[in-house]
Amino acid sequence: MLVDTGTFERSPHACHHGRSGEGCADCKVRLISVCSVLALAELEELEALSHHLTLDKGQTLFGQGEPAGSVYNVIDGALRLTRLLPDGRRQVMGFALPGDFLGLALQERYSVSAEALGPVETCRFGREDFAEVMAAKPHLLKSLHERAGYELNLAQEQMLLLGRRTAEEKVVAFLLSLRDRYARTGHSSVTVELPMGRQDMADHLGLTIETVSRMLSRLDRAHAILLVPGGVRLLDVPRLERMAAS
């Protein structure tokens, strides 16, 4: 979906990088990443091409318009994916979570910026090196195609989200989508973590921050959700699912 960073090359204090300490075989997101199809020997080959990269909150992995020279596997944390519109407005295109692979688009430059919402760990590969691995391993290419299909589905859901749904339905659908994405990483829970702020949610959903706050408060008062520090608890999931399907 996205790609590299001229950012850490340009700003050496923006992140920390080196060989991964635990190795690809022990990676915490291996089973949900595109790398899951690789055998141990193949993982060792891939690991030789990788660099572990960490960022602190607010730091940029790569910027919109920068040369797309790397691809990244998100190991831990969350990133905000934004695009600056010609009139200066910001559109939040989405959020990258553990297991997501960034930088696989064919464009020569990044179409979005990726900013850390908190501490983030990624595994970085040079784009040309990774392309050679893909060419030699059809099963990895197949896995990437499946991931591309999943991301296309997310994009279609986002189009629907910004279309005919009411503000309340948009917020509910967003919360349920996050729940489902966390479930893919093995973190199934009625409490949905919200690493992004309400302004980020508003910019993603095409709403104002006041509207997002009002919808969350309304759902809380209706006992459909419970606002908790750092997230929301889904109290009435069947009701929320009916609202999202409206």
pLDDT in tens, 140-173: 666 665 666 556 666 666 666 666 789 999 999 9
pLDDT in tens, 70-106: 989 899 999 999 999 888 888 999 999 998 888 877 6
pLDDT at position 229, please? 95
pLDDT at position 176, please? 93
pTM score of the predicted model: 0.79
Share above pLDDT 90 across residues of the chain, in percent, rounded to a whole number? 44
pLDDT mean across residues, the chain:
81
* Residue 176 bridge partners (DSSP): none
What number of other Cβ atoms are within 10 A of residue 242's Cβ?
Answer: 11
Q: Which residue has the higher pLDDT, 198 or 14?
A: 198
* Domains of the chain, first to last: 7-155 (2.60.120.10), 164-244 (1.10.10.10)
Task: Give the DSSP per-residue string, 87-141.
Answer: TS-EEEEEEE-TT-EE--SS-SB-SSEEEESS-EEEEEEEHHHHHHHHHH-HHHH
Q: Which residue has the higher pLDDT, 212 or 101?
A: 212
Quick check: 18 and 52 in contact, CB under 8 A? yes
Residue 37: name the closest of 105, 122, 139 by CA. Answer: 139
Task: Give the DSSP per-residue string, 170-197.
Answer: HHHHHHHHHHHHHHHTT---SEEE--S-
Rounded Cα distance, 223 and 114, in Å = 35
Residues 98-122, mean pLDDT to the nearest whole number: 88
Helix or strand (DSSP H, E) at 212: helix 209-221
Q: Which residue has the higher pLDDT, 130 or 205?
A: 205
Residues 24-38, mean pLDDT to the nearest whole number: 65
